Amino acid sequence: MAKINFGGTEENVVTREEFPLEKAREVLKDEVIAVIGYGVQGPGQALNLKDNGFNVIVGQRQDSKTWDKAVADGWEPGKTLFPIEEALDKGTIIQYLLSDAGQISVWPTVQKYLKPGKALYFSHGFGATYKERTGIIPPKDVDVILVAPKGSGTSLRRMFLEGRGLNSSYAIFQDATGKAKDRVVALGIGVGSGYLFETTFQREVYSDLTGERGTLMGAIQGIFAAQYEVLRKNGHSPSEAFNETVEELTQSLMPLVAENGMDWMYANCSTTAQRGALDWWKKFRDATLPVFSDLYSEVAKGNEAQRSIDSNSQSDYRVKLEAELTELRESEMWRAGAAVRQLRPENDKK
């Protein structure tokens, strides 16, 4: 465990240097890791664990295209791929990677297989934190642990194949065996994390729900839409408005900010851009702060979790979702975006 200073605050992190793969393999050598669910995180984590030399099986319901996807990825029915109940029975570590709504409905089945000494692993603090709403209350004699990769399962796999790693948080909800810490860190290294930082189930879910509703996905689309609308209302063409709102950000600026930080970005743009950005960023902060405070409070009260549970468990959820996504896709801004993407030089040959 290394203490790292993050902007003045010391935090414990685990790196791959201090907890190498060989150590993780040693810790988990007698375990059967059952990855339950093969949606987005399932494939990323299961394939990385397999390639890293761990004993891993996949549990997936059979009457589903997802089963075929697992077979196509090389999981062998009856050997490394099983219906959910069989995998739950065989696993000593249950990586519960169904969708959060799926976790609620399959929970009564999972409970039957949580024999003393097993570990129940999540990649989100949702189910256990909002237990009054989800009914997910693990028995006292199993370890309950979390590794939450800070990104999509697709990125987790892609970065692993490139020899890189996605950072993850880890947490222990319940240590029944005395081995929870070793188990969780070994799994975090095994699934291909960059470095691991410590959290709690509650903090993981509060920050995650805030982040995805905020700057990662909700707020960013809101800000894009507002700026695009103002530019269009003032007579700018869709191409100009889209380039100034989205394309330049995603293609040029964000990779540089990721590499060097925002002060570097401000220092390495035109002096005109620099002056404007420095003068305006605090205005945007002040304008959005009340919305972020409201968002966090809705998350902490459990209202956001309840809204997700209610909407995701409706039988016509996918149909309604498609309607909402179509609205975004068909908006002028994102239709302009599709045209701009098509015009990128790398698409010339397509």
Is 244 labelled as part of a ligand binding site? yes
Number of residues forming the site for ligand NAP (CB under 6 A): 23
Q: Are 212 and 218 in contact (CB under 8 A)?
A: yes
Interaction of residue 213 with ligand NAP, rule CB under 6 A: no
- CA separation for the pair 336, 239 (Å, rounded): 6
* 236 carries an active-site annotation: no
Interaction of residue 99 with ligand NAP, rule CB under 6 A: yes
Interaction of residue 308 with ligand NAP, rule CB under 6 A: no
Interaction of residue 134 with ligand NAP, rule CB under 6 A: no
Interaction of residue 135 with ligand NAP, rule CB under 6 A: no
**Chosen residue from 13, 32, 40, 114 binding ligand NAP by CB under 6 A:** 40
Q: What are phi and psi of 238, to 5 degrees?
A: -55, -40
**Chosen residue from 15, 52, 66, 202 binding ligand NAP by CB under 6 A:** 66
**Nearer to ligand NAP among residue 24 and residue 36 (C-beta):** 36
Conformation bin of residue 117: beta by default, left when phi > 0, alpha when psi is -120 to 50: left
User: Which residue spans within the chain are E strands per DSSP?
Assistant: 2-6, 9-14, 33-36, 56-59, 81-82, 93-96, 119-122, 143-149, 166-174, 193-198
Collapsing DSSP to helix, strand or coil, 95 comes out as strand
**Chosen residue from 14, 19, 33, 37 binding ligand NAP by CB under 6 A:** 37
Going residue by residue from 146 to 185, which x/- string records binding to ligand NAP, judged by CB under 6 A?
A: --xx--xx--------------------------------
Q: Are 328 and 334 in contact (CB under 8 A)?
A: yes
Interaction of residue 123 with ligand NAP, rule CB under 6 A: yes
Angle at CA of residue 238, ends 235 and 243, nearest 5°: 110
- Identify the active-site residue in 42, 43, 91, 124: 124
> Least distance (Å) from ligand NAP to the CB of residue 101?
6
Report how far apart, in Å, the C-alpha atoms of 17 and of each of 21, 48, 189 are: 9, 18, 10
**Nearer to ligand NAP among residue 41 and residue 193 (C-beta):** 41
What DSSP state is assigned to residue 251? I
Collapsing DSSP to helix, strand or coil, 268 comes out as coil
Residue ranges binding ligand NAP (CB under 6 A): 37-42, 60-61, 64, 66, 97-100, 102, 105-106, 123-124, 148-149, 152-153
Residues annotated as catalytic are 124
